[in-house]
Amino acid sequence: MIKKRLFGRTGHPSSITLFGAAALGKVSQKDADRALDTLLKYGVNHIDTAMGYGDSELRVGPWMKRYRDEFFLATKTGERTYEGAKKGIQESMERLQVEQIDLMQIHALTLQEEWDLVMGSGGALEALVEARDQGFIRFIGVTGHGWMMPSLHLRSLARFDFDSILLPYNYVMHDDQKYNQAFEEVLKVCEEKTVAVQTIKSIARGPWATTTPSRNTWYQPLEEQEDIDNAIHWVMGKPGIFVNTVGDVELLPKVLDAADRFEEKTSDLVMKKMVETKRMSSLFGLGA
């Protein structure tokens, strides 16, 4: 069973590896239910989905009828205004078939102009705070996907007391001095404030070199079990963080198997060699 730790200040002991339910965006309910069996097998008790992940919320909804008490349920809104986010929260609750969402996150907050809108008067954050006060959601988080995310998250945490953040982290990004320095800075702030830190893109190999990807991921993932083991074990070796799985349901068992067998962090030497042999590269133009 995958180990658990407290998810920030929420008091919930979440599995260190969270289920990234973007993997359910384009699958049937039958395939989604097979993924659920895999989650239960490995003791994963935290689901991270989003309104923008295709049919993902619709696939998770039927699970909640049977297993609501067994999962910490997180979703996201891509809306930037109060009215849009308020409506989106209600729609997510309907799609997920729940009366309360554990964590609602402001999704992919990467652009400065959108940040200003979300955080300002009449912005999406006001709707999330209102929903929390009304009991529709319990906690509030913020997510992002680019090289600037550590710095933007620092600014967000200075503006509002978020309960969680989500950002990319893998060996290639760590190896970029600028990104790693900013990541360590935001990690320190999160430790001080007891804010949960979720990471994504742990098994990213690099951008797709083809216009017809063979996986349901917008990046080319590592696929061999040994490579996935090394990448997952390297990220899991970072104290205090959580690792989201992968956006492809076929690769999910390999990621969870790797997480289940985690004992120690993969060495930087092994990762450096793998970067060379697998021709791993940045997704966001780091090091330019």
What DSSP letter does each residue of 170-185 carry, written as one string? Answer: -HHHHTSHHHHHHHHH
Specify the CATH number for the domain of residue 125. 3.20.20.100
Token pair belonging to 243: 């690792």
For residue 172, is it within any domain?
Answer: yes
CA 23/CA 170 separation, integer angstroms: 19
For residue 288, is it within any domain?
Answer: no
For residue 91, is it within any domain?
Answer: yes
For residue 200, is it within any domain?
Answer: yes
Q: What is the pLDDT of residues 178-222, one digit of tens each?
A: 999 999 999 999 999 999 999 999 999 999 987 788 898 989 999
pLDDT of residue 287: 44
pLDDT surpasses 60 at 286: no
For residue 285, is it within any domain?
Answer: no
In the beta sheet, which residues pair with residue 42? none
Would residue 104 be called left, alpha or beta, if left means φ above 0 and alpha means ψ between -120 and 50 degrees? beta
pTM of the model: 0.97
For residue 227, is it within any domain?
Answer: yes
Give CA separation, 177 vs 125, 174, 190, 207, 270, in Å. Answer: 32, 7, 20, 21, 19
Q: What is the pLDDT of residues 73-100, one digit of tens each?
A: 999 999 999 999 999 999 999 999 999 9
For residue 284, is it within any domain?
Answer: no
| pLDDT over 70 percentage in the chain | 99
Domain total of the chain: 1
For residue 287, is it within any domain?
Answer: no
pLDDT of residue 34: 98
Full domain range(s) for residue 268: 4-277
Residue 68 DSSP one-character state = G
Query: What are the backbone angles phi and psi of residue 74, rounded to the nearest 5°?
Result: -120, 140
pLDDT, the chain, mean: 96
3-class DSSP state of 35: helix
Q: What is the pLDDT of residues 244-285, one digit of tens each?
A: 999 999 999 999 999 999 999 999 999 999 999 999 999 887
Q: What is the mean pLDDT of residues 70-74?
A: 98
